[in-house]
Structure 1
Amino acid sequence: MVSRDHKLSMRKQCELLQLSRSRLYYQPVGESAENLRFMEMIDKQFLETPWYGSRQMARHMKRNNHKCGRHRVRRLMRLMRLVPIYQEPNTSKKHPQHKIWPYLLRNVVVDRPNQVWCADISYIPMRRGFLYLVAIMDWYSRKVLAWRLSNSMDADFCVEALKDALAKHGKPEIFNTDQGSQFTSGAWIDRLIDAGIKISMDGKGAWRDNRMIERLWRSLKYECAYLNAFETGSEMRAGIGKWLTYYNAERPHSTHGILTPDEAYASKAEPMRLAA
């Protein structure tokens, strides 16, 4: 039984941290232990072969003597938001009533910080469940500007990360995402429009663009999530926060030689342009 004083204390902490209590307390996701084990296998294989759809993934599972047929593989991949890389992709689950914005980055040379930002969502496994992680990245420097964890796929945690990035780093000229319902929602789009940011969405011929942030997911999962097998949401938040600090501040990115993302971002950054 949680005491009244403890509840009041946690409520005050939530207010100070600007967190909702639903984000602070991890709620286990209702999947069986077998499905969670299959999801981790599928996720690891997808990092190696991101072109695998449900049919090929089911064949992979069968070849490795796992009783996980195509229908179950397809449902789990949708739950994990794993979409195979095709040249004409359905980049993520669209909302039929949301507007899709044009792709603005064709033949654009990205050569400075805050010229283009991007965002993506990934499934992050735990020992007995999983959470979703959204990250906002500066395209030029590869610096992770903001991130949030959630136990559901609503748009709220994405908008929270967006507000955090705009408050700390100003605003980009262009913001590029896939066509997922979180990034076409009114709350997300209105925030970008109010800040005077051009909206770009991946479409036909732009399937390679998302590979940049997917490399972040690969590193984070192998170097942090899979090694630690977090028990709780608070453990995962602390662990991911520590790893992302290391990624930004200490890990040189191949795109910029010996420079870390923080150094690459600072090397050409102009004075912060505040969002409206």
Structure 2
Amino acid sequence: ATARGFGIYGLGCSTLSDRLDFWAGVRTTYDRREMTRFFTADRSLGGTDNQFCIDFGGTPGGSSCGNLLIFADQRYDAVTWGAGLDFQVSDDVFTYLKVDKGFRAGGVNGRGSGAIFAAGGLTFDPEFLTMWETGVKADWLDNRLRTNLAIYTGRYTNVQTTVFIPLGPTSITSRGNSGSASVHGGELEVTALPLTGLQLRGGIGVSKFKWQTGPKTSKAGVSGTNRLGKTEERGTPELTANFSARYTTPPVDLDNHGELEFSFQVDWAYRSHQKGES
């Protein structure tokens, strides 16, 4: 399997006033995914001809090939963009508003048996995300306290999800596409310098993923497939938090050998339970 990517982008900024700036950018992305897989054992493709099966014994196609070659060559192109406003409220307070469109390339399922390919699960399509974000960054108390607050909302289309394909008493997992979804959340980061040598840092984040349409339970021409439903939350916990404390001792002069100082740090992190975890 091989993956290649190539992108061209440009970014421009315009000063609208002494405190307000506007910026915008655009990117064109070209992605290519190739995969070739060869089976030497007999594999059944469900009893129908399949374009991905070549019998090196001289019989192309067929429901069962003694030497099975599975191949794919997919190209994914996308134009993504971003734009925003940056406003310097004062020397210590900065705020912004931006919107971005992102792109996750499609791909090729390189694992599993011929049943995946017979079910039309060889490739999956690109996913897109449009995200709005606003935030405020500020310094307080003569730069001894810094806060960074951000709030965002976004919408996914053609969401990439896990697909279960039943195969007798078991099932095979591969990658596929479902409907659209939304995500909302926010983050707050705080840095404080209460004493000389002591730095305290903490943060909290919330994120909520919700299906809007879908997920699909089947795909045209594919029977017996199942996309994960509302139990799949993109692997993102709804709540995260972190805290760290770092203390650095005053430097000790070692005469002509420089200075010596010690640092001590404590870290703590938390994330809420993710669906799918035991």
Q: Confirm or deny a common fold (TM above 0.5).
A: no
- Higher RCO (CA-CA < 8 Å; seq separation 6+): 1
Q: Counting helix residues as a fraction of each chain, which structure ranks higher?
A: 1
TM-score, normalised on structure 2?
0.22
TM-score, normalised on structure 1?
0.22
Q: Counting strand residues as a fraction of each chain, which structure ranks higher?
A: 2
Which structure is larger by alpha-carbon Rg, 1 or 2?
2
